[in-house]
Homo-oligomer: A and B are copies of this chain.
Amino acid sequence: MGIEKHHFIPEDMRGEITLRVNRIQEIMKRSGVEALLLTGNANVFYTSGRFFRGYTYIPLSGEAIYFIMRPDIYDTSSVRSYTIRKPEQIPSVMEENAIALPATVGYEYDDLSFSEVKRLQAVFPDATAADGGAVMREARMRKTPYEIGQMEADGLHQAAVYRRIPRVFKEDMTDVEFQIEIEHILRMEGCLGRARMSGRLMEINMGSVLYGENADAPTPYEFALGGAGTDPSLPVGADGSIMHSGHTVMVDMNGAFNGYQTDMTRVWRIGDIPEKAVKAHDCSRKILRRLEEIGKPGCPVADLYNEAMRIVEEEKLERYFMGHTQRVAFIGHGVGIELNEQPPITGRSKVLLAEGMTLAIEPKFVIPGVGAVGVENTYVVTDRGLRCLTPFEEEIQEL
């Protein structure tokens, strides 16, 4: 059938991959990790521009080495790569090719199972094992111009979908039916239908639609807000309620179109809603405007959180902020290849903002009897403050 052989790393991606590898190596030098053996899905994608089954080996200097298990179909003439059947072959392949064995190897302690890390540690039995995950999280936290471009594209797609949301609403629809129609326009717009997330506490399908009181149902997952879901096996999001006048519906759906993603929330209302809900929504926007201004390189991430809390307290809306029955202690998070990247935006963060970091900031309120309000945008840190990657009108519109 003649499957076409694609370059493992296409020509126009080679400079980009070199830039990323250099960035990783700078952090390795500071961290005392002499080599990284990466196989987690997000890190494989970051270091090669694709997902393949195998390993990216990053030495302290020089180019990355790819150990490819499957599929074995690429034109690899432009990269240093070897075909292997199992990771245990890596040291002998290295020796045969005069590649020095490392004294310290970093593995992805947070991304791989206990069994998988144990197996990989045995591949280099004489090396000291270290956590390489922290190096990778730090490297990926600051995006390259190419990555920011990918996320800009995500934001435009996501905004184009959100623009069509009012069109799919029908009276007496359930929140689940509403969500399904939004999923449909997302997918038709090119959404891949799956957002990468780190860890096992982020189970969700294509995002969250929170209508009315269901916004206050606590979830076991690590999302900002909850929702009961429709089944005890997946307790998050829309619960099948029919949507009635006097309530809000918050839409926080998947923006993954190209291996990256933006995270964006907007709120619509059905009929009129109480003044208190509008006030809280305006408070969310006020917070975003303030953080856009102060979010420059060097600003402590904790300041973003504390400044948000100050504004919330000024407006006496603390009891509704980031949940009501169950509240969370963050107002946003890094976003990129994974939905939950570094840094979480908390009051205890020690991270300083740096140019190119991309953050989803989501000051949200749950108003009892009404629903959730607030805006979430994805931003990139620039020397002029936060630049929005999710350009879409923020007011609460009527459905």
Contacts and interface: CB of A to CB of B under 8 A. Distances in A.
Contact of A194 (B72, B180, B205, B217): B205
Contacts of A70: 218, 220, 326
B192 A51 contact: no
A52 interface: yes
User: Could you say which interface size class chain A belongs to?
Assistant: 35 or more
Contact of A183 (B110, B193, B204): B193
B217 A3 contact: yes
- The winner among A131, A176, A203, A220 for most chain B CB atoms within 10 A is A220
Interface string A337-357: 100000000000000000000
Give the number of times this chain occurs in the complex, counting copies: 2
Contacts of A200: 40-41, 111-113
B3 A325 contact: yes
Interface in A255-290: 257-259
A131 B115 CA distance: 9
A45 B235 CA distance: 11
Given A1-B325, A183-B187, A194-B203, A233 B113 contact: no
Interface in A222-254: 226, 230-235
A58 B70 CA distance: 39
A219 B70 CA distance: 7
A391 interface: no
A40 B114 CA distance: 12
Interface in A34-82: 40-41, 45, 49-54, 69-73
A177 B183 contact: no
Given A51-B235, A234-B51, A193 B205 contact: yes
A216 interface: yes
A157 interface: no
Nearest to A185: B180
Given A110-B115, A192-B205, A205-B192, A1 B368 contact: yes
Contact of A107 (B3, B109, B114): B114
26 contacts: A1-B324, A1-B368, A3-B216, A40-B200, A51-B220, A51-B233, A51-B234, A51-B235, A53-B201, A71-B220, A107-B114, A110-B114, A111-B200, A113-B113, A114-B117, A115-B133, A176-B187, A180-B184, A183-B187, A184-B184, A192-B230, A194-B204, A196-B203, A231-B257, A231-B258, A233-B337
Interface of A: 1, 3, 40-41, 45, 49-54, 69-73, 107-118, 131, 133, 176-177, 180, 183-184, 187-188, 190, 192-194, 196, 199-201, 203-206, 213, 216-221, 226, 230-235, 257-259, 324-326, 337, 368-369
